[in-house]
Amino acid sequence: MAEPAHIHVSRGPAGHARSTPPEGGSALLRLGTATAWRDDSLQTTLRLLGEGGAVGRILLHSARSEISVPADAPDPGQDVHFMLTVSSALLLARRERALIHAASVAPPGGPAILLTGDARAGKSTTTANLVACGWDYLSDDQVVLSWEAVATEEPCTPRVEGWLRTFHLDRGWREGRVTGQRTDVDPTSLGGSHRRQAPLGGLLFPFLEPGRPTALHRVTSADALARLMRQSPWLFADPVVAGAALERLRRVAQLPAHVLRLGMDVYRDPARLGRLLEPVVLEMGTP
């Protein structure tokens, strides 16, 4: 069994010197305010630089990440958030897992569905609406995919584990109106059941189009793969595992995949959304 990974965040002295990118080097990955740079030719150490002054390094060979924030940094939260995401993603990839920017829900007794899309694509609201319909929830923002063989002669079955956080929903969500202002909502207040993990059965790619009715469209596995890669760019920053990561995402993209165009009709009527997704649930079957 692999050694557990460790991520350590600490406060450095006030005004400590910021690390600078290697001269003539190119960034491996940029995510929000964080940038990752290769620090050695063996591809085992990465340096992290934050726009707010935080610095860090990822030691892939020893499964560690170290992040330091200057004591006088005015608002280090963004740096730390994005550095933690990059660190988690790269360390998980070395353990044959994939961190995906996605929500995940599951109908009662059924496998999980990934809701994958850009920020403000409707992932959290769709998750909350499906919970209101009696579905289970795993996460509204980040999940980890893993693979396990049911039998030696069968391909590995993808499983999803949700990284649960406070949901960020529009203030008017409960009344079915849009205010444009987000508020934190405790997921336990929504009703429904939380599942930590479940087998993965399908993919949904939501996007908002308030002026049109909600609709569901099947997409090809190639389209699904491209959309998954967009939400997991960190999987290809580490060349040691990039090829294997791509192959695993290809298998996931073979699952039933649909684009979900979200209109105001389901925002105000969650039950309508549940009925619209009934064919998807039937196609996925049961685990």
Q: Which domains does the chain have, with CATH numbers?
A: 6-93 (no CATH), 98-284 (3.40.50)
Query: 150 pLDDT exceeds 50?
Result: no
Once rounded to an integer, what is the mean pLDDT over residues 67-86? 88
DSSP string, 41-52: TTS-EEEEEETT
Task: Write out the two tokens for 200.
Answer: 């993965």
Query: 18 pLDDT exceeds 60?
Result: no
283: helix, strand or coil: helix
Buried-exposed string 196-212: b where 16+ CB fall within 10 A, e elsewhere? eebbbbbbbbbebeeee
Query: 152 pLDDT exceeds 50?
Result: no
Once rounded to an integer, what is the mean pLDDT over residues 229-240? 88
More confident residue, 155 or 135: 135
Query: Where on the phi/psi map is residue 15: left (φ > 0), alpha (ψ -120 to 50), or beta?
Result: left
User: Terminus-to-terminus CA distance in the chain, angstroms?
Assistant: 27
Q: Using alpha carbons, select from 98, 88, 95, 94 the residue that is nearest to residue 240.
A: 94
Query: 72 pLDDT exceeds 90?
Result: no
| pLDDT at residue 252 in the model | 94
Once rounded to an integer, what is the mean pLDDT over residues 156-183? 87
Task: Write out the two tokens for 165.
Answer: 């956080």
Query: 206 pLDDT exceeds 70?
Result: yes
Are 144 and 163 in contact by the 8 Å Cβ rule? The answer is yes
Give Cα separations from 47 to 54, 55, 116, 235 (angstroms).
11, 8, 28, 17
| C-alpha span between 89 and 236 (Å, rounded) | 10
Averaged pLDDT of the chain = 87
| C-alpha span between 255 and 49 (Å, rounded) | 37
| pLDDT at residue 23 in the model | 63
pLDDT band at 27 (very low <50, low <70, confident <90, very high): confident
pLDDT band at 151 (very low <50, low <70, confident <90, very high): very low
Once rounded to an integer, what is the mean pLDDT over residues 255-260? 96
Query: 107 pLDDT exceeds 80?
Result: yes
Once rounded to an integer, what is the mean pLDDT over residues 264-274? 90
Buried-exposed string 58-69: b where 16+ CB fall within 10 A, e elsewhere? bbbeebbbbbbb
Place of tokens 């350590």: 8
Task: Write out the two tokens for 218.
Answer: 């099947």
Query: 204 pLDDT exceeds 90?
Result: yes
| pLDDT at residue 100 in the model | 94
Query: 197 pLDDT exceeds 90?
Result: yes
Residue 156 backbone phi and psi in degrees, to 5? -65, 140
Q: How many percent of the chain have pLDDT more than 90?
A: 55
Max avg pLDDT among 111-115, 122-126, 264-268: 111-115
pLDDT band at 2 (very low <50, low <70, confident <90, very high): low
